[in-house]
Chains A and B, each alone.
Chain A
Amino acid sequence: MKPVFQAPVNLPLPVKMLLRDWRAGELRVLALALVIAVASVTSVAFFADRVWQALTREANQLLGADVLLVSDHPFAPDLSEEIAKRGLARVDGVSFVSMARAGDVTQLAGVKAVSAGYPLRGKLRVAPRLNAADAETDAIPPPGTVWLDERLSAALGVEVGQQIELGNARLTVGAVLTLEPDRGVSFFNIAPRLLLRMDDLPATGLIQTGSRASYQLYVAGARASTEAYETWAKPKLGPGQRIESLGNARPEVRAGLDRAQQFLGLSAMLAVILAAVAIALSTRRYTQRHLDGYAVMRCFGAQQGRLFALFSWEFVLLGLAACAIGCVLGFAGQAVIARWLTDFVASSLPQPGAYPVLQGFAAGLLLLLGFALPPLLQLKNVPAIRVIRREVGAPRQGALAGYALGLAALGALLVWQAGELKLGATVFVGFAAAFMLFWLTSLGALRLFAALGRAGSVSWRYGLANLRRRSRANAVQIVALALGLTALLLLTFIRGDLLESWRTKLPQDAPNRFVVNIQPEQVQPLARFLAENKVEAPSTFPMVRARLTAINGRAVSAADYADERARRQIDREFNLSFMQTPPPGNQVTGGHWFNAEDLAQGSVSVEVWIAERLGIKLGDSLSFSGGGASATVPVTSLRKLDWDTMRPNFFFVTTPKALAGFPLSFMTTFRLPATEAMFTTRLTQAFPNLTVIDVGAVMRQINGVLDQVIRAVEFVFLFALVAGVLVLYAALLSTQDERVQEAALMRALGASRAQVAGAQRAEFMALGLVAGVLAAAGTTAIGYVLAERVFQFPWQFNAAIWLAGPLAGLACVALNAWLGGRAALNHPPMLALREAS
């Protein structure tokens, strides 16, 4: 006798029902859908958590710390002592500008003295000599040595091992400093770098009372602790002191991180939407297969409420188990990918937190509640009389209204996953609109195909007749297939288009050197020098350093602003420029660019971000002062500019005559090929007063961040791909029972295998074609919205989508026809008919 498998008798009935349904294979597809949904969500959540942490750390590398305190005078002891008390890592730094000497050569150097452990985030890179391969190091210069960057080495004409003088000290050049992670934080006013250890600073005698120096406290540690320290320290800061952290770091870095989060959020959302469809389809099938059982149990006297509670508990238990398995799989998946990405991630990824587990369970149970409950609820309407009259109590097909709860849950999940209302809402509305449109178009298309199917072979007529007969079920299948295909097309086309647009926003030929401090009389000689050396300098901008002193005649100071960034900006001198035509890449968003009257009377154009921060509106009058001069000009336009381009950007641009009398210098930018390292030396030798800023290192850092994000997005899209395939499978299964029975009946009536297969082929082909065309339309629409409205990239029509959509649709149904048809044809007709009865 075959051993009897049965659930232990002392288990609660919902557990026994769950085990029995599981054993009978009734719940496997549903469970798989849920496991994959949760695995996708948690893999994304775990991985996104880790990537986000890594990105945060990358961004923090631009600070060299998680939190950076900057002061124009030494810090009070309590600020630095508190860091150790809180168990955080601390590094002290002092930077100032001073002359370095080597023999007869003197050069202005940006001196930075640091204590051991610097930088707390990111790594220094050093080379043993000029133009040699560099490598990361965890050390700082040993006692008695300094590290010079390539420009300073070249300018001073010293090599590793030789000595230089700095103030009263003689120090040995220990290495060439090639990368300093926090170099980019304030890359204006950067003189060539000289790095020494803090212990050697007193010997130079350069820091004395009244010395102009900037003091830094680098802080790093667990996110919660650094945030707590930042909160603690903020109110203790005095004038001339500020905190820099990820939140208030440079706008272009912030823009990169924000966009990274959007990409990851979007990727996660696709998997969520597709999983929801798969769950709804699976549960619908489960419900259909349990209608009779439910009626029988009602017949036995089980009360409606009790039965519904039993089924609900069974699903909740299944949901919890699936969520747990999904979380484990998600964790494993992200671990595998993190390992796979080792080559691409500059530093190892931090371990994820526990929050993604919570997210996984919440997402899984919400999906179950939203998309499994509505079909389950239909069981409640099944009357007991169905045991005698089977035609009674069949659930309504495709009751979309029943999914209102699910759609609401999905909407909430989307916003949650996106971390942003606008993006979440855009994708939700996009999919909801696509869903409705797909549904209505499917029904119309099915009618059309049915009308075409009145002539032709038996298989053709029978297959197309099925389209009309099962129009609602088929429409559900088309919608599901179209959604899956939309995701696949989004993955393969739109993703590529968007990522490419994103990459090209940072052109490979972007300028990598900024030259500042160009005196008016040097503009022409410098242009000639650049031209002689075949270096193209795209444009030269006048630059005036000035403070914003009043808005509408009212004096402004940091105390007027609550916003930290506004406080910082108002305390500083701005780099103003003046010009007659709008700077390239700038877009006037309010008011008008300078007209003849403005040019005659003087006016200013303000960048929108700073205008918002400082509360500046069109028509306000702004007073600037600098170098003993002052000017008051009206705001006649607001400008939006793109921080990603690495072009020189100015918060304030005035008309040329407005700043007459202010001390004037010029700046220019150019791209220096990597092979031309010595050009900078020749330039500074020819124009000793110029400061040449190497933005190449900053660019490399930002490109590195982009690379990581793109890899992460590609990985995250894989989950959407898996979820999309699952939707197709669930859609296939949803009508498989019926198809198997029909095939059995046809064969019992004498149809050949070829005729049965032909009928299915006709039906599937029509389904695939309609779904493919719909998916192409949906993808194009979503791509347009994403490009134009969300990511603000120019949208381009991609004709390949319209070829790939229908082809992919046909390919999917070919697989369907093979799988489904095989099942139908291989199922013994007698068995199928007996099951049907």
Chain B
Amino acid sequence: MVKAAGLSKVVPNGASQLTILHEIDLAVMAGEAAAIVGASGSGKSTLLGLLAGLDTPSAGSVHLDGVDLFALDEDGRAALRAKLLGFVFQSFQLLPALNALENVMLPLELAGTAGAGQHATAMLERVGLGERLAHYPKHLSGGEQQRVALARAFVMQPKLLLADEPTGNLDPDTGAGIIDLMFALNAAAGTTLVLVTHDDAIARRCQRQIRLHGGRIVA
């Protein structure tokens, strides 16, 4: 499903260069759940951004579902994301001007999918927020916001879900609930999951852990 080869990211750092990722090679099979773990600054989020085609590498390649991501231009990568990917972020990234239902409808509307309202309502009911469709993000708790984000990610029925520290802004109990929900949805949809976390307990729930240290895979 996802294959990275020789993936490097180097950024200028004053007069010198800072290597964030160093020749990463990895592959995640379809239906597999993989956790990228490591300490802060180990390059986890940068790797996730590159796997999603949100950023461009200094060297190397990423293939998503067999398509060479960086052979495409930005709009081509966006089109591929629309087709294949779902995202969950640490900071939820809900649009504050939209209520819960509209936040979930948004990717469907952008894709021109018919029946966006029904699909989004059904998805929010699945994550237990059927009673809070009209609530705005600022009126939802952190856990509820992340559930809206999960509904928004799964409503597009993505082949690959990329989750960046999905519990990073939540208390342990709420975080555990979100992780349970995410794995349940993932299992039901048969989605491939790439999860970035620094929490080993969460990482252990994935079939595979990819440990990063100083921009290299150490395990």
A binding-site residues for B, Cβ under 8 Å: 1-6, 9, 13, 16, 20-21, 23-24, 26, 289, 292-293, 295-306, 383-385, 387-390, 831, 834-835, 837
Contact = CB atoms under 8 A, between A and B. Distances in A.
Given A289-B97, A834-B138, A834-B142, 14 more contacts: A4-B134, A21-B97, A24-B98, A292-B93, A292-B95, A297-B106, A299-B87, A300-B111, A301-B110, A384-B52, A384-B54, A385-B54, A387-B54, A388-B89
B49 A385 contact: yes
Contacts of A831: 138
B138 A20 contact: no
B131 A298 contact: no
A390 B101 CA distance: 25
B169 A837 contact: yes
B205 to A, nearest CB: 22
A827 to B, nearest CB: 11
Contacts of B83: 301
A6 B117 contact: yes
A6 B101 contact: yes
A823 to B, nearest CB: 15
A301 B49 contact: no
B81 interface: yes
A20 B81 contact: no
Interface of B: 45, 48-49, 52, 54-55, 74-75, 78-83, 85, 87, 89, 91, 93, 95-99, 101-102, 106-107, 109-111, 116-117, 131, 133-136, 138, 142, 156, 164, 169
9 contacts: A292-B95, A299-B54, A300-B156, A302-B78, A385-B55, A387-B54, A387-B87, A388-B49, A388-B164
Contacts of A3: 134
Contacts of A306: 110
B117 A301 contact: no
Contacts of B156: 300
Contacts of B79: 301, 303
A299 B97 contact: no
B143 to A, nearest CB: 13
Given A5-B134, A302-B78, A834-B138, A383 B95 contact: no
B151 to A, nearest CB: 13
Contact of B82 (A21, A26, A301): A301
Nearest to B94: A296
Contacts of A835: 96, 138
A500 to B, nearest CB: 51
A3 to B, nearest CB: 7
A389 B85 CA distance: 18
Nearest to A7: B102
Contacts of A387: 54, 87, 89, 93
B26 to A, nearest CB: 18
B133 A4 contact: yes
A458 B156 CA distance: 52
Contacts of A384: 52, 54, 78
Given A4-B101, A305-B75, A388-B49, A300 B96 contact: no
A304 B117 contact: no
Given A6-B117, A13-B109, A304-B75, A388 B54 contact: yes
A305 to B, nearest CB: 7
Nearest to B48: A388
A88 B37 CA distance: 90
B93 A304 contact: no
Contacts of A293: 95-97
A4 B99 contact: yes
Contacts, number: 106
B97 A26 contact: yes
Contacts of B110: 13, 297, 300-302, 306
A301 B80 contact: yes
A301 B134 contact: no
A23 to B, nearest CB: 8
Contact of B97 (A13, A20, A302): A20
A301 B159 CA distance: 14
A23 B135 CA distance: 13
Nearest to B90: A388
B212 to A, nearest CB: 15
Contacts of B81: 299-301
Contact of B85 (A1, A6, A9, A301): A301
B82 A296 contact: no
A296 B96 contact: no
Closest 4 CB pairs of A and B: A301-B82, A24-B97, A301-B81, A300-B107
A296 B164 CA distance: 13
Identify the interface centre among A20, A296, A306, A835: most chain B CB within 10 Å of its CB. Answer: A296
Contact of A301 (B45, B48, B91, B111): B111
Contacts of A385: 49, 54-55
A388 B44 CA distance: 11
Contacts of B102: 6, 20
B180 to A, nearest CB: 23
B86 to A, nearest CB: 9
Identify the interface centre among A13, A302, A304, A835: most chain B CB within 10 Å of its CB. Answer: A302
Identify the interface centre among B54, B85, B156: most chain A CB within 10 Å of its CB. Answer: B54
A289 B95 CA distance: 10
A6 B117 CA distance: 9
Nearest to A16: B109
Nearest to A27: B97
Contacts of B87: 299-300, 387
Given A2-B135, A5-B134, A296 B95 contact: yes
Contacts of B169: 837
Contacts of A24: 96-98, 136
Contacts of B96: 24, 289, 293, 835
Nearest to B116: A9
A301 B54 contact: no
Nearest to A296: B93
A302 B82 contact: yes
Contacts of B95: 292-293, 296
B54 A837 contact: no
B58 to A, nearest CB: 14
A295 B106 CA distance: 13
B106 to A, nearest CB: 7
Contact of A304 (B49, B54, B78, B134): B78
A574 to B, nearest CB: 74
Contacts of B54: 299, 383-385, 387-388
B166 to A, nearest CB: 12
A301 B49 CA distance: 14
A639 to B, nearest CB: 68
B133 to A, nearest CB: 5
Nearest to A297: B110
A271 B175 CA distance: 54
B7 to A, nearest CB: 15
A102 to B, nearest CB: 87
Contacts of A6: 99, 101-102, 117
Contacts of B107: 300-301
Contacts of B49: 385, 388-389
A301 B131 contact: no
A303 B82 CA distance: 9
